[in-house]
Structure formats: C-alpha cells, structure tokens
Amino acid sequence: MKKALLFAVMLSFSVTQASAWGQLGHYVIGLMAERQMKKSVLAKVEKVLYPMSLGRSGTWMDEIRSDRSYDYANSWHYLTSKNGEYDPAHQEKEGDAFEAIQRLKAELKAGNLSQKEEAEKLKMLIHMVEDIHQPLHVGTGEDRGGNDVRIEFFNQSTNLHALWDSGMIDRKGMSYSELADELFRRLTPAMKQKYRGATMEDWLKEAVALRPLVYKLPESKKISWVYMYESNDALEERLVAASVRLAQILEEIYG
C-alpha cells in the first residue's frame, strides 16, 4: 500500500514537472521581466495580480490543472509546428498557446472584465508567453513535445521535456533570484532590441532552430555534463528572451 502511494506521488510529480517550465524557470522569467518594465506599468500589473507577484503568477496556470473547471485550457500550454510555421490545422481543437496568447492579449487590452476575469486571463497570458519559449513547447506533433523521449539524467529516469522544463535548471543549484541576477546582468540594449523586434512567428522559428541541439542525444539516452554544457547557452538564452517579450507584452497592454 505504501509503495503504491509513493509511486502515485512520484508519478504526479513527474507529470507536473513535464507540463511547463519548472517553478524556478517561471520565477526567473517573471523577476527579470519585472526589472525591465516601466514602474507605472508594473504597478498596474501588480494591482491586477495582487496578492501574487508577477514571478509567482507564472506558475498559476499549472496549478489549476487540478481543477477540472479549467480543463478547457489544458492544450493552451503548447502548440505544434513542423518547420516554424503556425498552422491552425495542426493544433488541438480546444486551442493552443499561439492562438490563446493573441486572444487573451486582445481581451485584456479591450478591458470590460471583472476583477477575477482580468486576473485569471493575465496569469494565463504570463504563463503561456513564458512557456512558448521552452523549445519543446513548440512540438513536432510526434512525441508530445519530448515527453515520450525517455532518458537518464545523472542516472535518474526522466524524459526530454522534463529535462528542459526543470532538470537542467535545478541542476545548477541556484535560487531563482540568483539565476535571474546572473542572466539579467548579461542583457544588453542590443539584445532587447532584437527580442522585442521579433514577431510571434519568429518565436516559433527560434524554437524549431534549436531542435537539432535539443534532440542531440547519445544512443544510450544517458546524459549528464556534456549535454548540459552544450545546451546551457540555449537554455539561458530562452529564459532571457522570454523575460524581454513578457515585459514588452505587458507594457503593450497596460502602458
């Protein structure tokens, strides 16, 4: 009985971790976005999200998966793109991250929402903008965004999606504020201009361009330091890009 309960808890943890950037990833992106935003805009956003912070609110959309009343949004965490294009025909019928980001952004800009509606839509938007920058949230449509690719990471069984969500970030052994500090100091005006000038279609192309790196696995599927070393720059760049674009979108809505 105890073994069965332990297995159920471990399975639940595994599924949760495989659903999006892990908690640290979301916190890092949110904190860096806060530091880039105009104070007047950040104040408006914080008022809507209160008592949650911007960083903390990024995990809310994963947490509500336990509430069946939000099942309609289950497929909004990801999308399918074969070669960097957005094709509605390849998406889930309930919606996808690309479509939902654009729709919620328009709804928030239009206003006329109740306090609860605005807060929930904003938290969803924040989460999805962050998620879509994890390369495996722009999936091929063949392996559930890497969830079906079983690997061993430092001798621990996991999957490729979970590795990019949280495995490599957690392995750094840093708090989210420490990692945010480290990444934020590298953010240059030129990088901001580049990221802010990209379209959402460009975001998909960026994810697809990283697939050869993401799927560069040994036949044994046992990975550790070499894979982390080769992937680290891309992983950190995705966190930085997400923070710039999240700040940009929030300023477009509340600026």
State how far the Cα of 28 lies from the Cα of 175, in Å rounded to an integer: 9
Structure tokens at 20: 């999006």
Report the predicted TM-score, pTM, of the whole model to 2 decimal places: 0.91
Number of domains in the chain: 1
Domain range spanning residue 110? Answer: 2-254
3-state SS, residue 150: strand
Q: Please calculate the CA angle 217-222-224 and round it to the nearest 5 degrees.
A: 90
- Rounded-to-integer distance, Cα 247 and Cα 18, Å: 25
Q: What CATH number has the domain bearing residue 155?
A: 1.10.575.10
Whole-angstrom Cα distance, residue 156 to residue 223?
10
Residue 33 contacts by C-beta under 8 Å, 6 or more apart in sequence?
54, 243, 244, 246, 247, 250
Question: Mind listing the pLDDT tens digit of every residue in the chain (255 residues)?
Answer: 434 433 333 333 333 334 568 999 999 999 999 999 999 999 999 999 999 999 999 999 999 999 999 999 999 999 999 999 999 999 999 999 999 999 999 999 999 999 999 999 999 999 999 999 999 999 999 999 999 999 999 999 999 999 999 999 999 999 999 999 999 999 999 999 999 999 999 999 999 999 999 999 999 999 999 999 999 999 999 999 999 999 999 999 999
Q: Please give the Cα distance from 8 to 249 (Å, whole number).
A: 39
Give pLDDT tens digits for 101-145.
999 999 999 999 999 999 999 999 999 999 999 999 999 999 999
Q: Is the distance from CB of 42 to CB of 253 less than 8 angstroms? A: no
Distance CA 255, CA 236 (A): 28
Long-range pairs of 100-105 with CB within 8 A, sequence gap ≥ 24: 100/73, 100/76, 100/124, 100/128, 101/125, 101/128, 101/129, 101/132, 101/200, 102/200, 104/128, 105/249, 105/252, 105/253
Nearest in space to 180 (alpha carbons), one of 74, 29, 67: 29
Supply 194's token pair: 């580049």
